[in-house]
Amino acid sequence: MALYAISDLHLALGVDKPMDIFGVHWTNYMDKLKLHWEETVEEDDTVIIPGDISWATYLEQAVADFKFIDCLPGNKIISKGNHDYWWNTISKLNEFLEKYSLKTINFMHNNSFELEKRIICGTRGWKCPGDTDFSDDDQKIYNRELKRLELSLENGRKANHDKKIIVAMHYPPFNVKMQPSGFVDIMRNYDVRTCLYGHLHAKSISKAVMGEINGIEYKLVSADYLEFRPIEVD
């Protein structure tokens, strides 16, 4: 079983949200995603999707988007992004999966997933201290997301101490100055080996921190950066 990742799908099958206004590379992006996904992922593989799944505002608007994801090969672990306004309580999200018989999708929210030799943990993340216009309100959300990451990692550590821990976030765990945040400190405390994140597009990709730093490998997995093809995690 292989493990893949891709974030920022920005699906819009239930709402009118053309993405090609963000550049020609977004033209027919859902067709590209489907083609490349089916070329890459097998049925027994798992794909981590860390945020910005659908442009829907409400869950019921996202039905077509989730059916699109569910029909793609592999099992999917989905976490929240800053544009996922449809996100709800974990109980309502699971009820939604059951209601529409979405069999290949799981949500990550203060929990973790055990996959053979790996533990998958994560949270949305947020702007980090040192970012432009980082406010008191941002500090509150940032602190809350730090706690959520620790809750997920603690949940994962209970499952098995010997497995490789992979963290998936939507926001990068670095600020715009490419300085590490408290998210990095927490990951080091839990011996995380890989950190996946998205959120960055276009010119902001130049601020992406990638590669191994102090024992943690950082990978940007935004769909447009990956040319809409899931990347193998390890």
Triad 100, 40, 117: Cα angle to 5°: 80
Phi, psi for residue 113 in degrees, rounded to 5 = -135, 135
Q: Give Cβ neighbours of residue 99 (< 8 Å, ≥ 6 apart).
A: none
Query: Residues 153, 161: contact at Cβ < 8 Å?
Result: no
pLDDT of 131 > 70? The answer is yes
DSSP assignment of 50-98 equals: ES--B--SSGGGGHHHHHHHHHSSSEEEEE--TT-TT---HHHHHHHHH
- In the predicted model, is pLDDT for residue 18 greater than 80? no
The CATH number assigned to the domain holding 168 equals 3.60.21.10
Q: Which residues pair with 46 in a beta bridge?
A: 3, 75
Domain that holds residue 119: 3-232
Report the half-sphere exposure of 77 (CA within 13 A, side-chain side). Answer: 26
The domain tally of the chain equals: 1
pTM given for the model: 0.96
Asked whether the predicted pLDDT for residue 215 surpasses 90, the reply is yes
For residue 231, name the pLDDT band (cuts at 50, 70, 90). very high
User: Taking 90 as the threshold, does the pLDDT of residue 154 lie above it?
Assistant: yes
Q: How far is CA 230 from CA 33, 35, 165, 221, in A?
A: 8, 11, 20, 8
Residue 160 confidence (pLDDT) above 70: no
Residue from 97, 121, 99 nearest 109 by CA: 121
Highest mean pLDDT, choosing among 15-19, 24-28, 89-93: 89-93
| pLDDT given at position 17 | 85
Q: What is the predicted pLDDT for the residue at 129?
A: 97
Mean pLDDT, rounded, for 48-57: 97
